[in-house]
Amino acid sequence: MKALIVDDEPPARARMASLLAELGGVEVVGEAGDGRTAVELSARLEPDLVLLDISMPLMTGLEAAQHLAALDPTPAVIFCTAYDEHALAAFEANAVDYLVKPIRLERLRAALARAQRYNGSALAKLQSATAAAAQRTHLCARVRGNLVMVPVVDIEYFVAEDKYVRVRHARGEVLVEESLKTLETEFDERFVRIHRNCLVAKNRVAGLERMGEERFLLRLAGREERLEVSRRNLPALRKFVKGE
């Protein structure tokens, strides 16, 4: 079994590697100190198992598990945390397993055995349910076979195109296989709908321009580009622009 160890504390990673070496049968193929790096390494190294801390910088373990569930093949995830069992109750039913620090050898052995019993489809279902309540800080996309992670704070707008959504961000564009409605529900505090096929980051809205009698365009802060505003969404957008 190939394993990736993820923890923002180097001593914790070293202890986990030592425990795995003592148990045998597990090859540690990499380590990461945050959730974002964990997802990127998992896409490249394809570990069978990710031992994942929860409280980490850049991306939490719960969000990382959500992105890991979308990988193919899907690695098993075992949460490793300093939380007590009461804090873990919210997601215990859906996790493949969890370990409470300090981690005991026999408890780790049992968790590894449990992880081996799940196939890829079951893992994806369990891990998606585990992390569903956590709003993501990044979106994942495939670009020429490579995994690209886009920080949500860098996204300027979403445009629905056929079965994909085009994501315009500070460094370019990517396509994601998610519905515009799902993205609107998850990030409703950050984005505003301007058209049935377009959501714009609220902090990128610079104003409205009238084009003829009935056509309006949205100005984007720092860009010459203009986006079409539908008549249906115009009243709410006007209120937003006026700060009402």
Topology (CATH) of 2-131: Rossmann fold (3.40.50)
Q: Which residues of the chain have pLDDT under 50?
A: 86, 89-90, 92-93, 130-131
pLDDT of residue 93: 38
For 160-189, what is each residue's pLDDT tens digit? 998 899 999 999 999 999 999 999 999 999
pLDDT of residue 198: 97
- Kindly report the pTM of this predicted structure: 0.78
**C-beta pairs of 182-190 under 8 Å, 24+ apart in sequence:** 183/158, 186/135, 186/136, 187/135, 187/152, 190/152
pLDDT of residue 144: 83
For 28-51, what is each residue's pLDDT tens digit? 999 999 999 999 999 999 999 999
Task: Tell me which CATH homologous superfamily contains domain 138-242.
Answer: LytTr DNA-binding domain (2.40.50.1020)
Instruction: Quickly tell me which residue has 């980051």 as its tokens.
Output: 201
Boundaries of CATH 2.40.50.1020 in the chain? 138-242
pLDDT of residue 89: 47
Beta bridge partners of 198: 159, 195
Q: How far is CA 48 from CA 25, 153, 177, in A?
A: 12, 31, 24
Work out the percent of the chain whose per-residue pLDDT is above 90.
63
pLDDT of residue 123: 53
Residues 168, 239: Cα–Cα separation, whole Å: 24
Boundaries of CATH 3.40.50.2300 in the chain? 2-131
Residues 175, 142: Cα–Cα separation, whole Å: 8
pLDDT of residue 81: 85
Type of residue numbered 39: V
Q: How far is CA 116 from CA 69, 119, 125, 177, 185, in A?
A: 16, 8, 16, 29, 35
